[in-house]
Structure 1
Amino acid sequence: MAAMQIPPETFLIDRKSVLPLQVQLRRQIVLAVHERRLQPGERMPSSRALATHLGVGRITVTQAYGDLVATDYLSARGRSGYFVSDRVEDLADDPAPAPPLARFDWAARLDGRNLAARRKDRPTDWRSYPFPFLYGQTDDRLIDLAAWRECAVRALGRRDFGALSHDQYDGDDPELVDFIIRHLLPRRGIKARPEEVLLTMGAQNALWLICAILLGRGETLAMEEPGYPGLHEILATLRANLVPVPIDQDGLPPEAVPEGVSVVFTSPSHQCPTNRTMPRARREALLGMAAARGFVVIEDDYEFEISFSGATSPALKAMDRSGAVIYIGSFSKSVFPGLRLGYIVADPAFVAEARALRGMMLRHPPGHVQRTMAYFLSLGHYDRQLKRMREAYAERRQVTAAALDRHGLDKGTPVGRGGSSFWLRVPTGLDSDVLARTLKPQGVLIEPGRPFFRGGEAGAAFYRLAYSSIAAQEIDEGIARIARTCRTLAAD
């Protein structure tokens, strides 16, 4: 008897799914085999017929079939086509259910501090909103995808295969470290040796490593208020002592740092979230105080690459003569957020400690990502992409400022040196959380201010409006909706 022909209509493709078409097809076939809807010996649709039915390229079907042959779900019989393999093991009937047991009491083993620290105000489906004024994401049109693909393919060549395939234990890609030392750090005035650099999985991972090492024995950290929410999350899980230091027009005032702190966190280039820049005299004062009192300074060189008005001030690390500064850099904003690659520059003794801790947790960032990034830097793609981003952000900043003025909204502190966002005050009497919730059904995303403050309530009067992930032509309408909503809420 001839083998039964499976009709192409058996299979469907979801065009809205994030899964590649080939993966969708493979999963459908595997599931159908396990559920016994496809039986051993049955003939699959021809690749041409199935491709025509699904509206995909024939190579998509052919590759899916080839992968399933390799895993013994299908078998190829010369010119006869593809068949459900008779080597697929029969699935045994489900056994009778065992008598129920009491569920393990995980609530008694977990204190929930990690979940409590996690931010819940950043939707993962932000791309579906027409007006995403959301910080930390980027416009895909600004990313040089072709250049990144070229570098990734180059990194997969035989010359580099050892750097990708071998467990480097706690080591880093020497080519990437060398480029950071010779080309990136000098732009910030920093001189470093390889033993002073550690690669991390982004700035958040760098901060966690630093805090886990420095704040594990009841030490106190002083940080800017408002300040970086990611650090609030880390400190909540470590249960470290935190002293918020209110900023002024020039960022963190050193004279306000209290006695007895062991660590001070600051983002002097573009303060998070206000974009204020710490002047040189204040930087020197902070470094002098660190040397005299013996506290560590964590410098998050936040968005230093996104500067619109010439050279930025030198990094604190460049001015540091005592070695008290731990410098954090990241490629998340300058390349793309999903890259999750950053670096620490610090005294060799601290880097050795951080390297050991990182090694216990994740060994090192993936070798392929490191080597691809090394090529992206060395071939000039990084600088070209930065130039494109700076030009786009400068335009969007001007458009945003003009729209805020036109629609009668607060424009925040006039800081025009760079960055990718505005820090704004809501109209008197409004709550930024309520404003954000009301705007969301209208397709507008903003960041309420509470996560940037230790106590939270002070943040009700503020919100952050970012322009990195929204096209310039959409900004005015988005801000018009914010202004109308503010007026409606104020009238209620």
Structure 2
Amino acid sequence: MPIPVESFFIDRTSSVPLQVQLQRQIITGVTEGRLRPGDALPSSRRMAAHLGVARVTVVQAYAELAATDYLDSLPRSGHRISDRIERRIDPPAVAPGVQHFDWQRKIDGRFARSARTDRVTDWRQYRFPFVYGQVDPELVDHAAWRDCAVRALGRREFASLTADLYNEDDPELIDYIARHILPRRGIRARPAEILLTLGAQNGLWMAAEVLLGRGGRCAVEDPCYPGLREILAQTRAEVVALPVDAHGLPPEAIPAGVAAIFTTASHQCPTSSTMPLDRRRALLDCASRQGFAVIEDDYEFEMCFAGAPSPALKAMDVAGAVIYVGSFSKSVFPGLRMGYMVADPAFIAEARALRGLVMRHPPGMLQRTLAHFLSLGHYDAQMNRMRRIYAERRAVMAQAITENGLIRANGGAGGSSFWMSLEAGKDSRILAQALRAQGVLIEPGTPFFAREQDGAGFYRLAYSSIAAPLIEEGVARIRAALT
């Protein structure tokens, strides 16, 4: 690729000759890996004009670098970085007499301390990746998404994509969410009640900032989504962890004085249990009496394999206390990072202002591409395909779990994973470490609990990222590691 001419400069106050300064910059760029084999240098004429030096100065610098194998000189193609020089990636040296800036005195590390360290970024390198939140690329309709992106880049729509929307969202996407996505959850909402987010995580963060940024008290499920625990660790709020049972969060356990509760009523994270209707009504009644907001993370409502899903809490909410958080990460693909919030207009207005301070709005290109993907029927087609394939994988995994004598911690029929338990005395962290050497990835239960030791006897097996023919052998390897 061409190297921008702006990458080079000279210091006219230095005693180092101009030709040598240019040579040193190119050599440093090569050895540090910033300039890579095949990269094209600016022409000598253009470089001379940019630096304000005689062209012969640049010609001589290039010639000496070519003679020492840093550059290749190609007929009619100028000069390119050679592949004959070994690169090293070293931090830039601090000049003599200059004290290195002490960042440890400027930061307190609270964000790094709360970040998860259990994720495996190279999960595709493992043959049996039972990891949650990732997707088998074969299930994503690449051709359809590409077609929608091309449509969004068309001349007729390009002007709107290049504009700053300030705090607003793509009206076509908002309209489709309001008329087609939300009614499937029993939710009726006007545009003023909908806000786009960069995924569910971003929505949960905005809810926490608006409701708890000045402190207060909130309640979460235990176990719960680790990302929520990371978010709440940055607020000044007191966090009360409420143990869940086979039906999710028990409303009678909610203490007085909380400003908000966070729940995954449809598919409890990570147990996948579903909160029954009578408990949902009791939760909403409790919110009305005590005056707390309910943040409903409905991250995976599309994945239900036991009849029609129950209506969302938001659909049953007549008082307007529920903030509904949805996401396209599981139904389109995780890398899209697009979601939405549905709540009272007063909350949405405040959350919109907060979003505007941080990022204005999600990228217009992604918004319009997603709008086409939804409106042209590609979303429904992909969801139907995913449900069918996930149902097949779920059946294969359920049978493999039974045949290998593994223990399921609950009988939930939703989501794209199984919540598993271990025999007394075994630790899922040790099991996960042993399985990695055999190409098997599982999720230990410890990050999901307020007290990590409470999760040592649990682990999660997901099937969204592993093909059905590999499931049986992967589960068999888990059984072998336990014996």
Q: Does structure 1 residue 433 correspond to structure 2 residue 429?
A: yes
1:67-82 to 2 correspondence within 5 Å?
A: 81-82=76-77
Deviation for aligned residue 1:27: 4.5
Cα 1:84–1:396 change in 2 (3 A) is same
Code of the aligned partner of 1:326: I
Q: Is the 8 A contact 2:40 2:78 kept in 1?
A: no
Counterpart Cα distance in 1 of 2:72 and 2:265: 68
Cα 1:30–1:317 change in 2 (3 A) is same
**In terms of mean alpha carbon deviation, does 142-151 or 104-113 score higher?**
104-113
The equivalent residue for 2:342 is 345
SS in structure 2 opposite 1:258? coil
Q: Is the 8 A contact 1:39 1:84 kept in 2?
A: no
The equivalent residue for 1:91 is none
Counterpart Cα distance in 2 of 1:269 and 1:380: 25
The equivalent residue for 2:358 is 361
SS in structure 2 opposite 1:442? coil
1:442-453 to 2 correspondence within 5 Å?
A: 442-453=438-449
Q: Is the 8 A contact 2:194 2:342 kept in 1?
A: yes
The equivalent residue for 2:37 is 28
Deviation for aligned residue 1:97: 7.9
Q: 2:162 aligns with which of 150, 159, 165?
A: 165
Q: Does structure 1 residue 122 correspond to structure 2 residue 119?
A: yes
Q: Is the 8 A contact 1:401 1:411 kept in 2?
A: no
Q: Does structure 1 residue 83 correspond to structure 2 residue 92?
A: no
1:212-291 to 2 correspondence within 5 Å?
A: 212-291=209-288
1:414-425 to 2 correspondence within 5 Å?
A: 414-416=411-413, 418-425=414-421
Q: Is the 8 A contact 1:427 1:486 kept in 2?
A: no
Q: 1:302 aligns with which of 270, 286, 299?
A: 299
Q: Is the 8 A contact 1:432 1:449 kept in 2?
A: yes
Deviation for aligned residue 1:302: 2.4
The equivalent residue for 1:109 is 106
Q: Is the 8 A contact 1:272 1:302 kept in 2?
A: no
Counterpart Cα distance in 2 of 1:230 and 1:439: 24
The equivalent residue for 1:155 is 152
1:52-67 to 2 correspondence within 5 Å?
A: none
SS in structure 1 opposite 2:460? strand
1:130-145 to 2 correspondence within 5 Å?
A: 130-145=127-142
SS in structure 2 opposite 1:299? strand
Counterpart Cα distance in 1 of 2:420 and 2:204: 26
Deviation for aligned residue 1:110: 1.0
Q: Is the 8 A contact 2:41 2:78 kept in 1?
A: no
Deviation for aligned residue 1:379: 0.3
* Per-residue deviation, residues 146-173 of structure 1 (Å, max 9, x unmatched): 0000000000001211231111111100
SS in structure 2 opposite 1:234? helix
Code of the aligned partner of 1:469: S
Q: Is the 8 A contact 1:423 1:462 kept in 2?
A: yes
Count of aligned positions: 416
SS in structure 1 opposite 2:435? helix
Q: Is the 8 A contact 1:316 1:325 kept in 2?
A: yes
Deviation for aligned residue 1:43: 2.5
Deviation for aligned residue 1:249: 1.1
Q: 1:396 aligns with which of 367, 370, 393?
A: 393
Q: Is the 8 A contact 2:132 2:465 kept in 1?
A: yes
Code of the aligned partner of 1:401: A
The equivalent residue for 1:42 is 73
SS in structure 2 opposite 1:42? strand
The equivalent residue for 2:290 is 293
The equivalent residue for 1:6 is none
Q: Does structure 1 residue 176 correspond to structure 2 residue 176?
A: no
The equivalent residue for 1:69 is none
SS in structure 1 opposite 2:233? helix
Counterpart Cα distance in 1 of 2:238 and 2:71: 64
TM-score for the superposition, normalised by structure 1: 0.82
The equivalent residue for 1:321 is 318
Counterpart Cα distance in 2 of 1:84 and 1:446: 50
SS in structure 2 opposite 1:30? coil
The equivalent residue for 2:477 is 481
Counterpart Cα distance in 2 of 1:210 and 1:351: 10
The equivalent residue for 1:334 is 331
**In terms of mean alpha carbon deviation, does 143-152 or 27-36 score higher?**
27-36
Counterpart Cα distance in 1 of 2:71 and 2:119: 47
Counterpart Cα distance in 1 of 2:159 and 2:260: 39
Deviation for aligned residue 1:41: 10
**Is there any run of 5+ residues in structure 1 with no aligned partner, and where?**
1-23, 45-80, 86-95, 488-492
SS in structure 2 opposite 1:111? coil
Deviation for aligned residue 1:31: 7.0
Deviation for aligned residue 1:401: 0.9
Code of the aligned partner of 2:225: Y
**Is there any run of 5+ residues in structure 2 with no aligned partner, and where?**
1-32, 43-60, 81-92
* Per-residue deviation, residues 95-147 of structure 1 (Å, max 9, x unmatched): x9842322211111111111111111111100000000000000011000000
Counterpart Cα distance in 1 of 2:410 and 2:74: 69
Q: Is the 8 A contact 1:270 1:301 kept in 2?
A: yes
SS in structure 1 opposite 2:408? coil
Give the alignment's Cα RMSD to 1 decimal.
Answer: 2.0
Code of the aligned partner of 2:470: E
Code of the aligned partner of 2:37: Q
Counterpart Cα distance in 2 of 1:328 and 1:284: 19
Deviation for aligned residue 1:39: 8.9
Deviation for aligned residue 1:264: 0.7
Code of the aligned partner of 2:456: A
Counterpart Cα distance in 2 of 1:310 and 1:375: 29
Code of the aligned partner of 1:28: P
Counterpart Cα distance in 2 of 1:130 and 1:107: 40
Q: Is the 8 A contact 2:215 2:235 kept in 1?
A: no
Q: Does structure 1 residue 464 correspond to structure 2 residue 460?
A: yes
Cα 1:160–1:484 change in 2 (3 A) is same
Identity of paired residues, percent?
59
* Per-residue deviation, residues 371-414 of structure 1 (Å, max 9, x unmatched): 00000000000001001111111111111111111111112312
Cα 1:457–1:31 change in 2 (3 A) is farther
